[in-house]
């Protein structure tokens, strides 16, 4: 009986997250392209390359920067807001499944003290940009294949090297929630709303 329970538990974990292998995220050759008609307003048809990744103490926000439309932007520019950082990849089915919900949340909370940033860990930025041309997202998407997710895992003590992985950062810049695997819109909102 215990053997069947372990098999079912393991299958459930695989269903809600995509694993990593040998400290590098497992990659597929071609992403599945899905239209997302519910999110027509996009901030960006392409991802922004992360320029710099900082360091942080335990449970502190790992700051990073990117150039968005000719302007240097840092995650710490949004200190004073609740921030959701979501690590995902185009080849990860659970990641793709939660993207429409994340886009809806970003739209619904745009007038609140909230900022969402998606971080694609795909190997090639061109793959992400192609995906974003076919899949509208209403929040900023940056591209950083490995370093950033590992730094967030370090500062939070996270050991599950899988995606999707999300981090909620409070208004003071502390990581207050670590979310491993895909979640529903309601699940995300219940956690975000605790800190707004």
As a whole-number percent, the residues of the chain with pLDDT over 90 amount to 64
Q: Per the domain annotation, does 27 fall within a domain?
A: no
Condensed to tens digits (0 to 9), the pLDDT of residues 176-187 reads 999 999 999 999
**Number of domains composing the chain:** 1
What was the pLDDT predicted at 29? 29
Most confident of 50-54, 152-156, 176-180: 176-180
Determine, yes or no, domain membership for 112.
Answer: yes
Residue 82 domain-assigned?
A: yes
Q: Decide if 163 is inside a domain.
A: yes
- The model's pLDDT over 91-139, given as tens digits with 9 standing for 90+, comes to 999 999 999 999 999 999 999 999 999 999 999 999 999 999 999 899 9
Q: Which domain holds residue 49?
A: 42-193
Q: Report the alpha-carbon distance of residue 57 to residue 109 in Å, rounded.
A: 28
Q: What is the mean pLDDT of residues 21-47?
A: 40
Alpha carbon distance 8, 4 (integer Å): 6
Q: How many residues does the chain have?
A: 196
Residue 12 lies in a domain: no
Q: Is the distance from CB of 98 to CB of 116 less than 8 angstroms?
A: no
Taking the C-alpha atoms of residue 134 and residue 155, their distance in angstroms, rounded to an integer, is 34
> In terms of pLDDT, which residue wins out, 19 or 110?
110
pTM score = 0.79
Round to whole Å and give the CA distance between 26 and 83: 27
Q: Are 48 and 67 in contact (CB under 8 A)?
A: yes
Distance CA 160, CA 164 (A): 11
Count of CB atoms situated within 10 Å of the CB of 85: 23
pLDDT at 17: 57
Q: Is there a domain that residue 34 lies in?
A: no
Query: Is 50 exceeded by the pLDDT of residue 63?
Result: yes
> In this model, does residue 37 exceed pLDDT 80?
no
Give residue 190's pLDDT: 97
Q: Residue 45: what pLDDT?
A: 58
CATH number of the domain within which 110 lies? 3.40.30.10
Residue 123 lies in a domain: yes
Least confident of 52-56, 120-124, 163-167, 187-191: 52-56
């Amino acid at each position: 009986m215990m053997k069947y329970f372990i098999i079912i538990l393991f299958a459930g974990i695989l269903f809600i997250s995509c694993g990593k292998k040998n400290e590098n995220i497992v990659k597929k050759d071609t992403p599945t392209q899905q239209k997302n008609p519910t999110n027509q307003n996009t901030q960006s048809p392409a991802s922004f390359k992360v320029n710099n990744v900082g360091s942080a103490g335990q449970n502190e926000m790992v700051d990073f920067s990117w150039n968005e439309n000719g302007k240097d932007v840092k995650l710490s520019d949004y200190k004073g807001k609740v921030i959701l950082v979501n690590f995902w990849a185009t080849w990860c089915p659970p990641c793709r499944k939660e993207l429409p919900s994340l886009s809806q949340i970003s739209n619904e909370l745009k007038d609140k003290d909230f900022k969402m940033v998606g971080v694609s860990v795909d190997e090639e930025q061109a793959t992400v940009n192609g995906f974003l041309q076919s899949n509208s997202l209403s929040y900023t998407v940056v591209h950083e294949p490995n370093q950033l997710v590992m730094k967030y895992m370090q500062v939070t003590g996270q050991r599950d090297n899988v995606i999707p992985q999300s981090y909620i950062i409070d208004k003071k810049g502390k990581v207050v929630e670590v979310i491993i695997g895909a979640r529903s819109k309601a699940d995300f909102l219940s956690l975000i709303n605790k800190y707004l």
